[in-house]
Amino acid sequence: MKTQSVSRGFTLVEVLIVIAIMGILASIAIPRYMNYIEQAHSTACLAERGVTDKMITLYCNENPDTPLTSLSQLAGVGYMGSQPQCPYGGEYVLIPADENHDSPRVGCSLHYWPGEEAAEPLTSLGSTFEEISGSMINLVQKFYDENGRYPRSWGDYVYTDIGLDPDEWDNAFNGIIYSPGGKRIKVTPAEGYIFYVTRSDGKEKVLKPERNWSLWYSMKDEKWYYRKIKNKNEIDISTLRVEKE
């Protein structure tokens, strides 16, 4: 005996309901996506400016009698391979030294201009977890794109390969210790701080410094993990909370 499937067309009301639901979802998802893209662009620009600012400081220290008057000078005398540029279309301009800055620095027409920030960034890569970790990720990816391999994962090379000063990163910032290395980036709670983060299965996990546990970012799959890089340890990094003990 043959069976027949029953099918029917959608009514106009049902179609309108589906369209309305899709519109609501789009109104939520699209702005979030655009904010994410904008933040990623800003972070990439911040990382590029951080590297350039370090080269500016080095130039000024080594050439005290030859003032730096343009960013093109850095490339012309070998401090950078080419004139630095914003990865996303902003125009970089050399900002002269002033009473608050011993050396010139870089401004971007899209992502940073003097007077827009009330205070100096906490680190050369920014102040927040999102800025610092995002900038490190971008620097590692840039190194890979330019060299066809990941940076070294031992000694000071974990920092110097991606243009960072190891001495700066001996410190914790807002209770977080940042440690790039090879194809991973590690963040660890500093003494006296605790990490709270939610795993992808919805379970909250706690990291304390005495356990020597860390959160890991994998460059290969672009995901964050708790303790070890394996599927069941994937976390939602947006849930990270850093609190004092």
The 10 Å CB-count burial string (b at 16+, else e) for 53-83 is bbbbeebbeeeeeeebeebebbeeeebbeee
Q: Which amino acid is at 45?
A: C
* Residues contacting residue 207 through CB under 8 Å, at least 6 positions apart: 188, 189, 194, 195, 197, 213, 214, 215, 226, 227
- Is 0.95 surpassed by the pTM of this model? no
Over the chain, what is the mean pLDDT?
Answer: 84
**Tokens 């609190």 found at:** 243
Burial (0-12, 13-18, 19+ Cβ within 10 Å), 101: middle
Label residue 140 by pLDDT band (50, 70, 90): very high
Q: How many CB atoms lie within 10 A of CB 190?
A: 15
Task: Kindly report, residue by residue over 173-231, the tens digit of the pLDDT.
Answer: 989 999 999 999 999 999 999 999 999 889 999 999 888 889 999 999 999 999 999 98
> Residues 163-169: what's their mean pLDDT?
92
Q: Per-residue pLDDT averaged across 158-178, rounded?
A: 93
Torsion of CA 108, 113, 116, 119, to 10 degrees: 90
Q: Read off φ and ψ for residue 118, nearest 5 degrees.
A: -75, -25
Q: What is the DSSP string of 93-119?
A: EEEPPBTTBSS-EEEETTTB-TTS-SS
- pLDDT-based confidence at 84, cuts 50/70/90? confident
